[in-house]
Chain A
Amino acid sequence: MDLVLRATFVFFLILVVTRVVGRRELSSLEPFDLILLVVIGDLVQQGVTQSDYSLTGATTVIVTLALLTVATAWLSFRVRRLRPLLEGEPIVLIADGHVLERTLRRERLTRTELEAEARLAKIGSLGDVRFAVLETNGRISFFTT
């Protein structure tokens, strides 16, 4: 029983942590971020299964996490109000050709990073961009004029 409770706690803890950390950090994994994620994964495993080496324990935890994933996806699908909390919302970074500096600061994004993302989208200048949207998966969509 405690396995289910620990897995549930960790599931919601990770949900909150990913919301707090921000989508950009999670979508663009630098080596440091990657190692940190591996370390977090290891700590989570120790906290959830502790000394339990059994198949029963592993099955319980995996099934619990699977059910919670489906449940949150279903809630997000059915309850519109919960969607920003569970999945986040797209955020407009450039509107009508104007870079929204305050939004960039809030998302801890520099103009240089925005320009780099634009180059990756094969856009030569931010002046050509009409809208840029930070999607819930951390990637940036550009719409040119």
Chain B
Amino acid sequence: MTELFADIEPEPRGRFGRDAPWLRRLLLVVFAVLIALVLGGLTGQEAMRSEADGPRARLTLSAPDTVRGGLLFQARVEIHPRVAIAKPRLVLARGWLEGMQVSSIEPQPASETGVRGNVILSYDRLAPGESMTIWLQFQVDPTNVGKRPAFVLLLDGMRPLATISHTLTVLP
């Protein structure tokens, strides 16, 4: 055997050698399980639908609860008033905006304000049965990793009408 082959064992032994195909197979199984979990929704992005039904209004939210850095995603809020709402105000928890790029909120609110880190969007009067859909488009900051509350609360002035509990998890 020439010196170029001196360091090569004819039949490698040891845990990572040719006689240990189990390690490679085990890793392939781990890969397959990982992909199965991803297909099952582990890495999020799929929109979840939540609903809060109050005596004066019904509120629905369609938004993912798990997102990844850089991802563009949409949250859709629908307000279905049963009685007239004189001053509809939508409160978005800080989790919706912390480390997120807000691409657009349509329709745009008449005014915006903030209370204790939450954002309040005020809209014009809603008549009974006059549903309103608000589209919110976001992009996730890649450094914004973690879990945070992202509830949505519907107010009539200062009076709570319906709340949807929601959390947003940003995967690394």
Contacts and interface: CB of A to CB of B under 8 A. Distances in A.
Q: Does chain A bind chain B? A: yes
Interface of A: 1-4, 50-57, 59-60, 63-64, 66-67, 70
24 contacts: A1-B41, A1-B43, A3-B43, A4-B35, A4-B38, A50-B72, A51-B72, A52-B69, A52-B71, A53-B69, A53-B142, A54-B68, A54-B70, A54-B71, A54-B142, A54-B171, A56-B172, A57-B43, A57-B68, A60-B43, A63-B31, A63-B34, A67-B28, A70-B28
Given A1-B46, A51-B139, A54-B171, A67 B68 contact: no
Contacts of A1: 38-41, 43, 45-46
Contacts of A66: 31
A52 B68 contact: yes
Contacts, number: 59
Interface of B: 28, 31-32, 34-35, 38-41, 43, 45-46, 68-72, 139, 142, 171-172
Given A4-B35, A67-B32, A51 B171 contact: no
A67 B38 contact: no
Given A52-B69, A54-B172, A67-B35, 7 more contacts: A1-B46, A3-B38, A51-B71, A54-B68, A55-B171, A63-B31, A64-B35
B17 to A, nearest CB: 19
Contacts of A60: 34-35, 38, 43
Contacts of A3: 38, 43
A68 B80 CA distance: 47
Nearest to A63: B31
Contacts of A50: 72
Contact of B171 (A4, A56, A63, A67): A56
B92 to A, nearest CB: 22
B40 to A, nearest CB: 8
Contact of B70 (A4, A53, A59): A53
Nearest to B141: A53
Q: Which 10 A-B pairs have the closest CB atoms?
A: A53-B70, A54-B68, A54-B69, A53-B142, A56-B171, A63-B31, A53-B69, A51-B70, A55-B172, A52-B70
A78 to B, nearest CB: 15
A4 B39 CA distance: 7
Contacts of B38: 1, 3-4, 60
B13 to A, nearest CB: 24
A70 to B, nearest CB: 6
Contacts of A4: 35, 38-39
A1 B41 CA distance: 6
Contacts of B72: 50-51
